[in-house]
Amino acid sequence: MNRKHHVRAFAGLTVFALVAASCGSDSDSSSDSAAPAATDAAVEETVADTEPADTEPADTEPTDTAAPDGGEGFVALPPPTGDPIVIGMVNTEGSPGLDFPEISIATQAAADFLNEHGGIGGRPIEMEFCKASGAPETSQACAQELAGKGVELVMLGLDLFPGYDTFTASNIPVTGVLPILPGDYTANALFLGGGNTTTTAAMAAFAQENFGATTAGIVSADNAGANGTEADLKKALDAAGITYVSIKGGDNETDAGFQGLMSQATADDPDVLFSLYADAGCIGTMRGRVLLGIETPVITTAICSSAEVIDVVGDDAVGWYFIGGQTERVGTPEAAAFDAILESLGFTNSTELGLGALGVTGLLTLATIANTMAAGGEDVTGASIFERLGASDDLVNWPEGNALTCGAATTYPTICNFTFPIATYVAGTGIETVPGFEALDTTDFLP
């Protein structure tokens, strides 16, 4: 169970960034959740209050985000007519506590959508799914199975122990959206997101660039996953020259327990707080901060900007900043594609995708790359997509349109994306991108 919790936490960092980036937060800013009386002071606080003194934009300008899939987006493309490309996916499903079928389901929906709208570089997609159970031997068996089925390219779902050696021996290139364990950072693979490593670097970068922070408090759970994230954050803070005090809480804290954590983390009046809690922890820490009258800004992950959290806490989220969060996109080609996929699944809300967002964004990013290659007259194969991605300095991810620069950080050769948007909660409005932080570069702060 703990492992699942950790995996969900890892995944959550990226997933909500991806969903938020494509559709933005769909939290209802008019939520009628009754905020505690003690929230009054915090409700007064607005983004303007926490605007940085130095309003220079972040180092990295956002790449042109207009339809990275080309002009009017996928929805305008005709059905593909080339030879099918077989893409394999290994995903963990079916074990109690380790069951993520939503990734396979959403990936198949994305493939179905692409097969109506341009395919992958003009080639229709045939997905081959293999279920791992979270045990190394099942991942290995999946690698063997997909190799036996002759897939051209593998896109990992949530696979804890990918069979990299088998894929390499079979000349099958491996891509993924989310590196999970340390081995993923040095494997023969390319990941479209950076997972914890880049997220924690973004936290340190934002604290320094937006708040000029020199001191910080950290609150996090005391479990293997959270401790790993905390270790990454500490390294990033060291790189940023920020001193910190770290307070460890439990996995099963009550709201009162979260008050204790927030109280202790702000005992020395730090410039910023970092919260590594997710789900219930988001709610508990947000409420605790307000009830204790703490005004120190808090930086956390986009998982805390989900509709489930914001609907419960309402304006208690004022003063919180979310790595990977972004203003809702409306009327863009990316939003249109996302909406079409959501509709095919019977969803009306992007958060209903859950971890399935990994599959959608991953496959549509690969399609964006392949379409760029096809437009340039290049052959589109699994190997050529992988090679092009690995050597690229001109490709962008979907839907954000941020540069894909695999290996830009030599210590993390498998990571291809090092930028994050940063959002905050604005009373009466909801989740909004912090001006100047549409694409914050994290490379200088990587642990």
Q: Return residues touching other proteins (CB under 8 A).
A: 1-2, 4-5, 96-97, 99, 137-138, 140-145, 147-148, 166, 170, 222-223, 227, 245, 247-257, 259-261, 263-264, 267, 279-280, 283-284, 291, 308, 312, 352, 354
Q: Which is nearer to other proteins, 68 or 447 (CB)?
A: 447
CB of 388 to other proteins, least distance (A): 27
- Can you tell me the distance from the alpha carbon of 273 to that of 394, in angstroms, rounded to the nearest whole number? 36
Per DSSP, 71 falls in state T
Which lies closer to other proteins via its Cβ, residue 75 or residue 312? 312
* Beta strand pairing call for 215-221 and 243-249: parallel
Q: Which is nearer to other proteins, 169 or 375 (by Cβ)?
A: 169
Output 101 or 413, the one with its CB closest to other proteins. Answer: 101
**How far is 442 from 197, CA to CA, in rounded Å?**
9
Residue 105: burial class (beta carbons within 10 Å; 0-12, 13-18, 19+):
middle
Choice between 245 and 408, CB closer to other proteins: 245
Task: For the CB of residue 429, give the shortest distance to other proteins in the complex, in Å.
Answer: 23
Nearer to other proteins, 40 or 51 (CB): 40
**Please, which residue, 44 or 137, has the CB nearer to other proteins?**
137
Which ranges constitute the DSSP H helices of 249-301?
A: 255-265, 280-291
Cβ 175 vs Cβ 156: under 8 Å: yes
SS3 assignment, position 138: helix
**Alpha helices for 298-420 (secondary structure H):** 307-313, 333-344, 356-375, 382-391
Question: Is-contact 440 420, C-beta < 8 A?
Answer: yes
The gap from C-alpha 55 to its chain's centroid, in whole angstroms, comes to 26
Closest separation between CB of residue 32 and other proteins, Å? 12
Minimal distance in Å, beta carbon 318 to other proteins? 19
State in angstroms the smallest separation of the CB of 122 from other proteins: 29
Cβ proximity of 364 and 110 under 8 Å: yes
Closest approach of Cβ 198 to other proteins, in Å? 24
CA distances from 229 to 10, 56, 112, 210, 383 (A): 9, 29, 36, 22, 33
**98 vs 240, beta carbon nearer other proteins:** 98
Q: Give the phi and the psi of residue 174 in degrees, each rounded to 5.
A: -115, 130
Handedness of CA 353, 357, 360, 361 (dihedral sign): positive
CB of residue 152 to other proteins, shortest distance in Å = 15
Smallest gap from residue 222 Cβ to other proteins (A):
6
